[in-house]
């Protein structure tokens, strides 16, 4: 078995780490921590706007943003991109010093600063070529919680990651009127 992307490109998983021999998703408690954290985080970034589009158009113009198609970086410090802005990220990473932030929690912040300051790839800078096999197919999580065997912990992990993200932003959500 080889390396695969799930849902969006970028993060690559060992196919045999995620799926059993029958092609079913393994229980999360059988996956290594990095794989589990990335899969849990994917559930949060799928459908989110491209980071670069969001920086251009802002929160008030989300209808002008493209949906995320690619993810780079570490969970909770990832850069999510559309195909149009992937070359900008790759240029920053390869040619403008971004590589020094690989594997760190600073990657997202540093790329966002570079991009917000007008950093862009030169015209015609090439992105990556991808081979999409079954791009619209995502692994199915069993509907019956009794059949999930460890998958309910996803909700707990997502909640923990969202709390960590809020804490990192130093937001006090208790003061909000909901």
Does the pLDDT at position 176 exceed 70? no
Higher pLDDT among residues 169 and 19, named by residue: 19
Does the pLDDT at position 114 exceed 50? yes
| Overall pTM surpassing 0.75 (yes/no) | no
pLDDT per residue as tens digits for the range 134-158? 555 555 544 444 444 554 455 565 5
* Structure token digits, residue 146: 């009794």
Does the pLDDT at position 71 exceed 70? yes
| Cα separation, 20 vs 64, whole angstroms | 40
Q: Name every residue whose Cβ is closer than 8 Å to that of residue 64 and which is 6 or more positions away in sequence.
A: 53, 56, 57
Q: Bin 139: left if φ > 0, else alpha if -120 < ψ < 50, else beta.
A: beta
Comparing CA positions, the residue from 33, 70, 13 lying closest to residue 161 is: 33
Using pLDDT thresholds of 50, 70 and 90, give the confidence band for residue 116: very high
Measured between alpha carbons, how far is residue 113 from residues 22, 137, 151 in Å? Answer: 45, 34, 36
Q: Name every residue whose Cβ is closer than 8 Å to that of residue 156 and which is 6 or more positions away in sequence.
A: none
| Cα separation, 19 vs 44, whole angstroms | 21
| Cα separation, 30 vs 22, whole angstroms | 15
pLDDT at 88: 96
Residue with tokens 């008030």: 60
Comparing CA positions, the residue from 7, 62, 16 lying closest to residue 39 is: 7
Comparing CA positions, the residue from 14, 66, 68 lying closest to residue 45 is: 68
Q: Mean pLDDT for the chain?
A: 80
Does the pLDDT at position 133 exceed 70? no
| Cα separation, 41 vs 25, whole angstroms | 16
Which of 44-48, 86-90, 91-95, 109-113 is the least confident region?
44-48
Does the pLDDT at position 169 exceed 50? no
């Amino acid at each position: 078995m080889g390396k695969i992307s799930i849902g969006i490109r970028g993060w690559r998983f060992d196919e045999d780490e995620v799926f059993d021999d029958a092609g079913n998703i393994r229980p999360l408690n059988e996956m290594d921590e990095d794989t589990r954290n990335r899969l849990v985080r994917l559930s949060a970034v799928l459908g989110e706007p491209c980071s670069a589009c969001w920086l251009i158009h802002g929160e008030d113009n989300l209808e002008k943003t493209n949906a995320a198609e690619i993810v780079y970086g570490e969970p909770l410090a990832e850069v999510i991109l559309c195909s149009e802005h992937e070359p900008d990220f790759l240029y920053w990473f390869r040619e403008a010093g971004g590589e020094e932030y690989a594997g760190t929690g600073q990657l997202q912040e540093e790329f966002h600063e570079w991009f917000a300051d007008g950093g862009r790839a030169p015209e015609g800078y090439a992105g990556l070529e991808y081979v999409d096999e079954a791009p619209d197919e995502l692994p199915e999580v069993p509907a019956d919680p009794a059949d999930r065997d460890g998958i309910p912990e996803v909700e707990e992990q997502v909640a923990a990651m969202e709390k960590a993200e809020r804490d990192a932003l130093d937001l006090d959500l208790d003061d909000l009127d909901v």
